[in-house]
Structure 1
Amino acid sequence: MEKCKSVLCPRIQARLEKEKEKDANCDVMPLSDTHFNVRYFLDQLTVDLNARVCSCRKWNMLGVPCCRAIACIFFVNKEVEAFVDDCHKLNTFFKAYAGSILPCEGDRYCPRVPCNLDPPPIKIGLGKPRKNRIKHPKENPKKPGCLLRSGIEMTCNICRTKGHNKRSCPNKGSYVPIEPALKRPRGRPRNDVAASQPIHDS
């Protein structure tokens, strides 16, 4: 930073130069010595040099004049760097880092303080403490820890229809269950089974 020759910090100066390049697109219409109406493409904004305020609020938040404010500053033949906030200047930077931070010793060399640290006191609330847990609204009162089967649609094991179970099935006595198909044996056939099959000569 000591090698920097500008009034502002290098990054702020680079930001200001980018805003100066957009200055040519601004059309300034003076309302007074400090108030201006600026047209920037399709936007129309107002700038107050005394209050350092622009309608885009970029100057207010960053402390660096926007391209509309720079056009007004050039219109009154003044330097743009003078309208930058003091926190971005080199003098403020040197003042902030003028002091030095003393080195710190490690934990090994810190002085020992004879102080017994106790845990914070336990705060007991008013009233009788709760013993029973908060139950779920759909928990079965007869079987604690189990939920009710309300809302679950039952399926009959006999006729495989929904809406009832096998106790109340209307086809309980007359229904003949369908036998499942035989499963195909897995693996290679045994030698005795292969020998019993006839061999066709080609």
Structure 2
Amino acid sequence: MPMSTELTRWADGELHSRYNMSATYLVEPINSKECNVNYASISAQVNLDTRSCTCRQFDLDHIPCTHAIVACRFYNISCYTLYSKYFTTKALLSSYSKCIYPTGNEIDWLVPNHIHDKVVLPPKTRRPTGRPRKVRIPSGGEGKRTSRCSRCGQYGHNWKTCKRPIP
């Protein structure tokens, strides 16, 4: 599995997409490793020593957020140094270095009695009142569909509101 950087393919792709998103951010330095990053009316404070940002995305994901990437660019620091070691190709390859053995037959398993005696039931649920919904609920990211006229073929209206004369 050839990899060009020290990061995994997914982490490298994530870095490039965040790098492109942060192209128009402005940096106001506080000291040698801290800065304030502004974008539109949003600002975030980045500390490169503690690997933290006030947007909390950097703290939670252990992947540099767009603000941290801009700070790295400003201070001329490689973004690759801020990634967690778990996103490196070395960590990926070491996780698959040892053999993973199958669990065997369920009859041969040694299960303690206090676990074997427990009965796990499905959760208690009730059917909602009313007629079941037949139409799929669209996702929040999906845009609205524009209607298409069956008479003229143009988008934005239907055949009932079409201004073209009937052929």
Hey, which bits of structure 1, 4+ residues long, moved more than 2 A? 102-108
Return the structure number with greater relative CO, CA threshold 8 A, min gap 6. 2
Query: Which consecutive unaligned segments of at least 5 residues does structure 1 have?
Result: 121-202
Aligned pairs for 1:27-176 (under 5 A) are 27-106=26-105, 110=108
Residues 23 and 71 of structure 1 are in contact (CA less than 8 Å); yes or no, is this contact kept in structure 2?
Answer: yes
Amino acid across the alignment from 1:95: S
CA RMSD of aligned residues (A): 2.4
SS in 2 for 1:24: coil
Question: Does residue 1:22 correspond to 2:17, yes or no?
Answer: no
What TM-score, normalized by structure 1, do the two folds share?
A: 0.51
| Structure 1 SS opposite 2:45 | strand
| Corresponding residue SS for 1:21 | helix
Q: Tell me the distance in 2 between the aligned counterparts of 1:4 and 1:98.
A: 17
Aligned residue in 1 for 2:4: 5
Structure 1 or 2: more helix by fraction: 2
TM-score, normalised by the number of residues in structure 2: 0.61
Q: Give aligned-pair identity as a percent.
A: 20
Shift of 1:101: 1.6
Which amino acid in the other structure matches residue 8 of structure 1?
L
AA aligned to 2:40 is F
CA distance in 2, matches of 1:105, 1:88: 32
Q: What is the CA-CA distance between 1:94 and the residue it aligns to? A: 1.4
Count matched residues: 113
Unaligned runs of 5+ in 2: 118-167
Question: What does residue 144 of structure 1 align with?
Answer: none
